[in-house]
Amino acid sequence: MEFSFDGIGNAAHAMSPAAIPTGHNNKNFFKRAVINLMIIAFMFGFTQLYTFGLGSKNGSIGLTISLAIITFWRTDIGIKPLQGAFVVWGAFILTGGATFLSSFHPAIGVFVNFISIYIILTLTSHQPMAKAYYPILSCYLFAQSSPVYGIDYGLRMIGLAGGGLIVAIVYYVRHHKEKRRRNIIDIFRETHICSIRTKFFLRLTTGLTIAMLIGDFYHVLKPAWISFTVLSLVHPFVNESRKKIVYRIIGTIIGGILYFVLFEWVVPAPWHPVLLILTGYIYLFLRTYWIQQIFITLNSLSGAMVFFQADVAFEMRIFFVLIGIAIVVLLSLCAKFRLIDKIYGQIQKIKAHHKKTS
């Protein structure tokens, strides 16, 4: 089972800063170290149990559910607590159903993935900067990139429904005392096509849909590498995406070189799992994006060794990251030319003209 940073890596920076105390004195550092150790132990233990009960094909799903438990312990999605709990649970069930349907044909996948991802983003991300969507979308991407059928699909749905229920219960227990007037209907009422939030949702949804379509159409073995690049780089503010693109490339290259040094030359193969857990623990201390990418690349290449030689895996990693970056650049150009605003403006003109003529 691949203990992947793609799930941790894309959400830890949303989880850790608020969950873990910061500071430079010894007391704060010790407290932070203990909490980090508890986090990595919980995630690893939960994932192992999940995999033992539901099979190795669901290991990454278990990882994202453990991540969601931690994330939603601190993150409030901004609506009435009971409704919020049902939204969280429903998002995991939707993930299982949607990724199953999308696996039958790429054309079906485009429609199903776009609608499902947009719904998840809209319902869980009233405050996009809180990044509550990260663990759920990470789960979606892992499930979509590794479709299962028959008894394996039944086990996956049991895991998603049961795991999602655990996350929902944790969410409600933690947030049930918070006074919220906003409900699910209000979320859709407040949606405006030209708002920064909606534009961000549309960019991310479109980017992930394109990434998954490429993976499905060409039947690549690691399509999630493209999707997670898009998930990581698309930001509510386009300028931030541009900065992160450069850091992503730098971190990926350094991570690939470091992988060859550590995993191919220095550390014996029997100790590789221990090294991965250790790097996962260190990762939780990191805040700098390009350094985070080094550790994510280390883990991703390690998991890919099941399918490829090290040099082939590294070349594929670079290539898929560049594809993801190309998608993000395309979306950024659309944002720069205010494409959504122009389309919305034309729709409004057509409506106004229709009213005058009717």
CA distances from 101 to 108, 113, 118, 283 (A): 7, 9, 16, 35
Angle between helices 310-336 and 196-218 (to 10 degrees): 140
Cβ-contact 60, 146 below 8 angstroms: yes
Q: What is the pLDDT of residue 310?
A: 78
CA distances from 202 to 170, 221, 247, 308, 331 (A): 29, 27, 24, 35, 10
Maximum Cα interatomic distance, the chain, rounded to a whole number of Å: 77
- Ordered per-residue pLDDT tens for the chain, 358 residues: 444 454 454 344 444 443 444 445 667 878 888 888 898 889 989 999 999 999 988 989 999 999 999 999 988 998 999 999 999 999 999 999 999 999 999 999 999 999 999 999 999 988 888 889 999 999 999 999 999 999 999 999 999 999 999 999 999 999 998 888 889 999 888 888 878 889 999 999 999 999 999 999 988 888 999 999 999 999 888 888 888 899 999 999 999 999 989 988 898 988 888 888 888 888 888 888 899 899 988 888 887 776 777 788 888 999 999 999 999 999 988 877 676 666 666 666 776 666 766 6
150: left (phi over 0), alpha (psi -120 to 50) or beta: left
Buried b (16+ CB within 10 A) or exposed e, 292-320: bbbbbbbbbbbbbbeebebeebbebbbeb
The count of other CB atoms within 10 Å of the CB of residue 328 is: 27
Q: What is the pLDDT of residue 306?
A: 66
Give domain limits for the chain. 5-357
List, in order, residues 6 or more apart from 332 with CB less than 8 Å away.
238, 241, 242
